[in-house]
Amino acid sequence: MKKIYGIIGDPIAHSLSPVMHDAAFKKLGLDAVYLAFRVSKDELGDAIRGAKSLGISGLNVTIPLKEKALSFVDAEEVARKIGAINTIDFSSGTPIAYNTDGIGSLRVLKETVGGIKGKKVLILGAGGAAKAISFYLDAEGAKVTIANRTKERAALLTSNLRNADYIGLDAELGEHIKDSNILINATSVGMHPHEDATLVNADMMHPELVVFDVVYNPMETKLLKEAKRAGVKKIVDGVKMLVYQGAASFRIWTKEEPPIDAMEKAVRDALISI
């Protein structure tokens, strides 16, 4: 019988996870399909319980549900410590949740800069993605600073890290960027259909900065365009993170080795055709 996987979030029409996972299923000859479901925060518990009742094999969880979803699942230890999930596995009957966002981001950054220890990393945002990314970077020995509109939310996030600080999205942001090795946008700012939005402009960056945007649609966000204008040498789009976190979810669900090249090609081809 065909297995059903999916992603829940709100909004969700922009998601290319179905394209990516369906390409992986096809490559490995698996009888499965991956669908996108728009689910509001108020409907989240019903959606997870309904997915279990309907025999759905696994779900990804995206904005703005990653943190609230913890209330409706049994989460493994790392996901509990992070305080957010992005993957649910129903294979055991009980929904077991994981967070693969940090795994994906860490792999991307190690491919880009090598060692993380000692790097000064400025993360924009304090939501589910920022929590996962900061957790893994902190564990690798990076000096993490969280920049968020609500300082209280950023302070709560950093209180669970070993070597982290927080600031607001105000005048001090530019000074922190000048002193940072890596800048990560972990917010939805710049995501389709708001492609002209960015929290950081070219005049705030320096050429030796690594700029990484977790937003993948569009592939070249306004932030990355500004980074190019600033002469930044190492620019990373969100496709790699999408693929690597998705591959980790795929491995949890299917116990198969994910065809990463096919997954990435499917996403990039889809983005080019949009």
Query: CA torsion sign, 174 to 179 to 180 to 181?
Result: positive
Joined tokens for residue 254: 């299917």
d(CA 227, CA 221): 10
DSSP conformational letter for 35: E
Ordered alpha helix ranges (H), 141-218: 151-158, 172-178
d(CA 18, CA 225): 27
Angle at 158 between CA 154 and CA 159, to 5 degrees: 115
Active site residue 66: yes
Judged by phi (left if over 0) then psi (alpha if -120 to 50, else beta), residue 8 lies in beta
d(CA 252, CA 43): 25
Question: How many C-beta neighbours within 10 Å does residue 79 have?
Answer: 27
Among residues 66, 119, 131, 143, which one is catalytic? 66
**Residue entry with tokens 């999916």:** 6
Identity at 267, one-letter amino acid code: V
| CB-CB contact of 65 with 42 (8 Å) | no
d(CA 166, CA 143): 11
Question: How many C-beta neighbours within 10 Å does residue 168 have?
Answer: 13
With b for 16 or more beta-carbon neighbours within 10 A and e for fewer, the 26-36 pattern comes to eeeebebebbb
Catalytic residue IDs:
66
